Structure 1
Amino acid sequence: MAGLSDLKASFLQLLQKREVTVQQVTELYNSLQGLDADKKSILEQAFRDVTRDSMVKDKGSYSSYVSLSIQSAEKGVCLHTLPFILLGDVLDSVTLEQCKQVFTFMESQVHVWVAPAFYSAGKHLLLRMCNDILRRLSRSQNTVFCGQIQLFLVNLFPLSEKSALNLMSHFNLDNVTQYSKRASDKEDYPIDYNLYSKLWSLQDFFRLPVQCYSADKWKTFTESLTDVMEAFASYKLEDTSGSRKQKEALPPAVIDDSHYFAKYLTSERLMHLQLGDNHFRRHFLIQILVIFDYLTTEVKFKAANHVLSDAQQKWVQETTAKVYQLLEETPPNGPVFTAHVKHTLERERNWVSWKNDGCPSFIPDTATTLSVRGRKRQAGDLVSTPLQAKKLDLGNEELSRLWNLNPDNLKACKAENRVYVPELSSFFEEALEQFDPEAQIEDEYKLVNKPNFTWRALRLLSRRSTHFFQGTQATTKTLPDYLTAVIQQTAKDTTS
């Protein structure tokens, strides 16, 4: 135990110095006696101790220790998980406001996290850290920071990563909307309580759409939704975005056309204002389209009886058209906004189909094709891998293109368009015409006296004509005379 204590003391003494370099850490690591596993474990604990102490004295010095741990891991004197462990310790000891600064540092090192050695060692630790921060944040008050974390995870993990997928299509049943269950008798509100109750009761169907497959629940859903849609149609909204004079009178800092509501208030006093609010209407109409998409789309984990009847599907289709019409009538830029909604829902259907197919990877796993446990690719791999993909790289773009015109080259050679042996009649047609005395073709210009023609003619006759092989009694003086005799005999057989 004394030896291990001495090791830790040596590492602590070095790390506590200012501007310590990775070379110094490496030299000390190599100079100390002991097993590599023990030295790495002790160095890791020393890093954690000095990082923890630095958070008390100077909360910004953690970044230098994390950077040093990254360099040390690259040198092989510590594990690749150490930088993630240090960041986890830091995040556990700072406030939410300070978490933003730490997370900004994490984003700046994303090129390190995606490196193979660090990614395989720390991807789950990074995911756990991000989820811990999200649990501490408020979705309504820290929306920007929450979005920043989500974008970081999207950029870090590939599309094929299933850790963030809702594979079983579970619903968020914790999202319960509270509203008044009975009409208030103290004040006279401008909106009928019956309409108020129907509008907010629909949130329970949006939260758990499978209720609509029940006959009694379906009746409640359709009646409430019909009344709410009629109320929206009766409240015509005006486009107030064009009040240029009012905007010109305000300072630029006051003008803000964007609004965000994490969750709308459900007070009866606000109901008449919400019916006239274009943002509120758009949120509600999009919720309707989303639940309709779920009810009519095939989802892998739906029960067998979760299917709409023909009459129900017809009602959904008709109501969908009304929803899109209300969206187009909702200012500002109703038609443009509606087109974006349709496009988004279409993309969502593609994701549903992807999940139904078992979430196949969009990008092939190149790790197995480039190396197997770090070994160098063998010559057989270079050939077998392209052959399995039915494509071969010959090292030349044009040769590769020609070779890969057909995945099966032997089959391609037998294709009809590759039959190059002509018919006897067509090939010797011109030569036969030249034999006619009326053609008045001099011997030196006849085809049988041209070497190119005679060579091709002999090859063709050897394959197609029985007269190519003459008996031993037959005698010819020259090759043109021989071809003339054979061509004429072949022509007689063909015409007879």
Structure 2
Amino acid sequence: MREQIARVSHALRDSWARMSAALHDTKREKGVVRLDADVAYACVAPAAEHLRQLCTEAQQTWAGSEAAALCDEALSMEIWAHVHTSVLASADIEEAVDRLDMAVALSQQGLGDPTLPLSALADLFEQTPIQQCMDLFSYAESRAALLTQDLVPTAGKGLVFLRMCNELQRRLSVVHEEHATLAGRILLLLSTTLPLHERSGVNLKGESNTAHAAELEALDEQVEPLAAGAAPSALAEHPALYELFWSLQHYMANPAALLAPGTGAPLPGAAPAQHLHRLPEVENGAALTPMQVFQAGVQCMLDVLNAVPATPAPVTRPAKRARTDAHPAYLSARRVFSYELQDPLFRRQFLVQCLVVFQYLLGQSRASRERAKDWTNKLILQTNELTESEEQWTRKTWRQVQNLLRDSGPDGRAILDIVLNVLRRESAWVQWKGVGAPSTQRAPLDAETYAAWQGRVAATLARPAPAPLVPMGSAELRRLWEEGLHVPAPSSVQVQTEEGEVKTLHTDGLEDLEGPGGTPSLVSMDRQMKRHAGDDDEALAKREGLAWRALRCVDPAHLHLMACMRAPDDVDGLLQAMQAEAQGEAYEPPTMGEEPEEESEPEPEEAEAKEPEAKEPEAKEPEAEEPEAEEPEAEEPEAEDTEPDAKAPEAKDTEPQADAAHEPETTPQATHEAMQVDEPDSAPPHLPDHDARSSSLSSSSSSPLSTSEDDADPDSTFLTAPAADPRSPG
């Protein structure tokens, strides 16, 4: 048995050397530094196959003996030790890559432990500097399919692979640009290799990373507190604002601390908030809660950001970025804080942090916890619940932050949309973790189900298309095709011309298919009105309807001649005016716009219409009086006979009447209409409703940062109750 193990060990060294030579020759022929995975495996596969046959023969010799298991373990340890020693003794990265390919080939042939390539790569990562680890990790990405074949996340390869990635990521710096890039590549490899519901990648408890904390400069004790009710511009210049802002990062990094009850211990941000007179009054000597300090700090910062304008970034052509050794990070020095407040990127960073914390808080409200009562993962819910007043403040401040983020620059609206979409996705992930993070993968169909569905799909596709319900395209064409065309018999019909003559027309029976007749002319409408010249109600109604139809038939070019009509039904006068205009003559009727003179006793409405003519100019002030003051004047029609100047307009020359034809607004009738418009009970329908507009503007939110209902964005959380009305005071 010892001889068999020694022979296998000697064959292993010989095969290892032949595989290394094959890889070296292939790279030299192709002129490349590193081979692809398929080419490298094809080079080392023959030697690995030969070694597998020798190991199989050796295992058959001691099969059935009591020491068979011990011999198999000894052979596996011999291969393990040789591979690890050879990989760690590599002169450079390329030689180590070749030896790792050889280890992958041995693992594919079933030699040694299945975790052999991953464990050798993990040991190599531990002994390699970070700069070379970046190149070595590229090899791991290119061989990920072979290294993670048959990987189980909770045992074997899965544990080795996860530990290797975590150890490498722990060595990286958080501020170095290249390190941050490598950390992202590690996370991408983990996410594409391990399943989505793997417990190592799901934060079921909702824990926060509180390792990074900003170093603050202490506030000078000699700084005087700010006066109560100071302007936001004074807040921006006070030294306590610096400490208040960076103290809020304690709550931003750990939102769960906001729901913890007050213990009486000094809270981060309480001292600077006290200097700025922003803390609320606590009754009965109760201790301040972290939520109260957070609310005071956030509202103070929002007031400052709303008052301090941001410095717009210069619009210049972006230069080629130079290679840097550090990833940019925000500094927490006091002397740069005033400049950071004016930086649009710095302001957006703070506003996005506020939205993230607000979504977490709204997820702990009563409505959200009620919807989450059926969740299997109770660890994600906090012990304390968000109160109703705290929820109202969070929703109100949410909209203020949205407005500030939208107005943070020319691309503010696009940035706000992106942030809200990310928050919606995060809310969906929280719900997924709340139900236990179930697997998103679905098992394939079994053979029987797949065969049944395959048969149904084939039968559905092979079924002929149903015949159309109407073969000819429409019901009328089908009826015409089946029954044929039945031409109606010719007939005759009596029609009346525009001159009133009755004629008999012969038709072919297809007159229903013809288009509608033309528009009637004013001449025909005038003749029909003259046939109804009676004074009875039926004739008046008929004449009124015909006059309305006649006015609608007037050509748009003759609309200005409608002012020459003595009455609404004076179509004859309109025709005379049209004829006079066609002949180049002026048509001015002497009685245009006046009431008939044959009536001896005018009606009350007519007396009221004439009364402004008889009054002196200084007496024309009916608008300042109440509507009831006009009623005694309309009830005295005899005043025309008693006053000597009442008939003065009738004794005047006809020249003023001719001028009245060109100015219809000065006629008594127009004056009467103007007096009726001024009554308080009648409002002109064409005027805009200024009161309604002002009421709609006053219905917006009372906050100076809130917008109207049309511009306000909806509440973007999935975990919260329906958003409150933005116009409500809460």
Deviations along 1:88-145, one digit per CA (max 9) or x if unpaired, are 1211111001101110000011232453369874232121111111111001112111
1:132 paired with 2:210, answer no
| Contact 1:238–1:331 (8 Å) recurs in 2 | no
Show the counterpart of 1:220. 293
**1:216 Cα deviation after fit:** 2.0
Label 1:36 to 1:396 Cα distance change in 2 as closer, same or farther (>3 A). farther
Match of 2:453 among 387, 390, 393: 393
Distance in 1 (alpha carbons) for counterparts of 2:454 and 2:48: 48
**1:13 Cα deviation after fit:** 4.2
Structure of larger gyration radius: 2
TM-score normalised by the chain length of structure 2: 0.47
1:167 paired with 2:168, answer no
Matches within 5 A, 1:408-427: none
Matches within 5 A, 1:65-84: 65-84=99-118
Per the alignment, in what secondary structure is the counterpart of residue 21 of structure 2?
coil
Label 1:29 to 1:397 Cα distance change in 2 as closer, same or farther (>3 A). closer
Distance in 2 (alpha carbons) for counterparts of 1:337 and 1:147: 23
Label 1:45 to 1:294 Cα distance change in 2 as closer, same or farther (>3 A). same
Matches within 5 A, 1:25-424: 25-31=48-54, 33-34=58-59, 35-53=71-89, 55=90, 57-116=91-150, 121-141=156-176, 142-183=179-220, 191-213=237-259, 214=261, 216-241=289-314, 243-244=315-316, 247=317, 251-253=319-321, 261-262=328-329, 264-297=330-363, 298=368, 300-301=378-379, 305-366=383-444, 382-383=447-448, 392-399=452-459
**1:193 Cα deviation after fit:** 1.8
Distance in 2 (alpha carbons) for counterparts of 1:395 and 1:23: 45
- The structure where helix makes up a greater share of residues is 1
**1:12 Cα deviation after fit:** 2.8
**1:23 Cα deviation after fit:** 2.1
| Contact 2:52–2:111 (8 Å) recurs in 1 | yes
Show the counterpart of 1:22. 45
| Contact 1:171–1:207 (8 Å) recurs in 2 | yes
| Contact 2:115–2:157 (8 Å) recurs in 1 | yes
**1:392 Cα deviation after fit:** 4.2
**1:5 Cα deviation after fit:** 5.3
**1:351 Cα deviation after fit:** 0.5
Opposite residue 134 of structure 2, the aligned amino acid is K
| Contact 1:328–1:335 (8 Å) recurs in 2 | yes
Distance in 2 (alpha carbons) for counterparts of 1:310 and 1:301: 23
Label 1:166 to 1:118 Cα distance change in 2 as closer, same or farther (>3 A). closer
Distance in 1 (alpha carbons) for counterparts of 2:152 and 2:247: 49
**1:63 Cα deviation after fit:** 1.3
Per the alignment, in what secondary structure is the counterpart of residue 131 of structure 1?
helix
Label 1:401 to 1:63 Cα distance change in 2 as closer, same or farther (>3 A). same
TM-score normalised by the chain length of structure 1: 0.68
Per the alignment, in what secondary structure is the counterpart of residue 159 of structure 1?
coil
| Contact 2:310–2:341 (8 Å) recurs in 1 | no
Distance in 1 (alpha carbons) for counterparts of 2:8 and 2:239: 75
Which segments of 5 or more consecutive residues in structure 2 lack a partner in the other structure?
A: 23-43, 60-70, 224-234, 262-287, 370-377, 464-730
Distance in 1 (alpha carbons) for counterparts of 2:48 and 2:410: 62
Opposite residue 43 of structure 1, the aligned amino acid is I
| Contact 2:205–2:380 (8 Å) recurs in 1 | no
| Contact 1:160–1:362 (8 Å) recurs in 2 | yes
| Contact 2:48–2:105 (8 Å) recurs in 1 | no
Per the alignment, in what secondary structure is the counterpart of residue 306 of structure 1?
coil
Distance in 2 (alpha carbons) for counterparts of 1:10 and 1:45: 15
Distance in 2 (alpha carbons) for counterparts of 1:397 and 1:267: 69
**1:203 Cα deviation after fit:** 0.8
| Contact 2:93–2:136 (8 Å) recurs in 1 | no
Distance in 1 (alpha carbons) for counterparts of 2:389 and 2:256: 17
| Contact 1:239–1:332 (8 Å) recurs in 2 | no
Which segments of 5 or more consecutive residues in structure 1 lack a partner in the other structure?
A: 370-380, 404-496
Distance in 2 (alpha carbons) for counterparts of 1:155 and 1:234: 47
For these two proteins, the number of residue pairs brought into alignment is 373
Per the alignment, in what secondary structure is the counterpart of residue 119 of structure 2?
helix
| Contact 1:29–1:39 (8 Å) recurs in 2 | no
Distance in 1 (alpha carbons) for counterparts of 2:248 and 2:392: 20
| Contact 1:72–1:78 (8 Å) recurs in 2 | yes
Label 1:182 to 1:63 Cα distance change in 2 as closer, same or farther (>3 A). same
| Contact 2:100–2:121 (8 Å) recurs in 1 | yes
Per the alignment, in what secondary structure is the counterpart of residue 250 of structure 2?
helix
**1:166 Cα deviation after fit:** 1.1
Q: Percent identity?
A: 22
